[in-house]
Amino acid sequence: MPKTPDPRLSERIAKAALQLLDEGGSKAVTMRSVAASAGVAITTIYERFADRNALLEGVVALAQRDLIAAVESTRSVDVFAKAYIEFFCRYPHRYAMSIEAFDSRLATGQPMPVLAKFKQLVARKTGLKGSTLDDRALAIASLTFGTLRSMINVGLDHRRASELRRACLSAIRQLTTPAKPKKG
């Protein structure tokens, strides 16, 4: 009797690749290592993914799903920012891939659910709307991306990483503090 195709095989392969990424960075994600980790033949991977780039797209989708899960229940800008930073401190090898995906989605106008959630929280806290809200959210995203890159580069256990995290969160609080009405 012929085997029934496993409908979740593509996800299982992508999960194996994501685990390898988490453990050793993008260089650890080879078709051979993924095949061994997923317990499948290399040809099986190529039946599901055209090449390594297609496999990495599947990895990015899983990482994005994990990031959404980490921030979706947050109810304030501060808690969101802390959860976002903590996520990438826990999974530093996902950072570069996530930034590439962010840049690509931003350039092509694709949905950006994490940024959309953040913008909701910023709008609720500050009352900002439209392009002013967009500009503020992108400025904070850029600040956070740079902070994370520096934290990862100096080493997450280094004293400077804690200082960078603290400074970033302080700046986010300042950038999202509603302006006080001018007395006139």
For 16, residues 6+ apart whose C-beta sits below 8 A from its C-beta are 34, 37, 38
pLDDT for residue 180? 73
Separation of alpha carbons 115 and 105, rounded Å: 11
What percent of the chain has a predicted confidence (pLDDT) above 70? 95
Check: CB of residue 29 under 8 Å from CB of residue 52.
yes
- Reported pTM: 0.90
pLDDT confidence tier of residue 106, bands split at 50, 70 and 90: very high
CA–CA separation, 168 and 140 (whole Å): 9
- pLDDT at residue 176, as a whole number: 96
Three-state SS sequence of 58-101:
HHHHHHHHHHHHHHCCCCCHHHHHHHHHHHHHHCCCHHHHHHHH
Q: Does domain 8-66 have CATH number 1.10.10.60?
A: yes
Average pLDDT over residues 123-142: 96
- How far apart CA 34 and CA 19 sit, in angstroms, is 9
Q: pLDDT tens-digit profile of 41-98?
A: 999 999 999 999 999 999 999 999 999 999 999 999 999 999 999 999 999 999 999 9
142's CB contacts (< 8 A; 6+ apart) are none
**Do 64 and 147 meet the contact criterion of CB atoms below 8 Å apart?**
no
Domain segments of the chain as ranges: 8-66, 72-175
Q: How much is the average pLDDT of 131-148?
A: 97
Q: Rounded distance, CA 116 to CA 90, Å?
A: 23
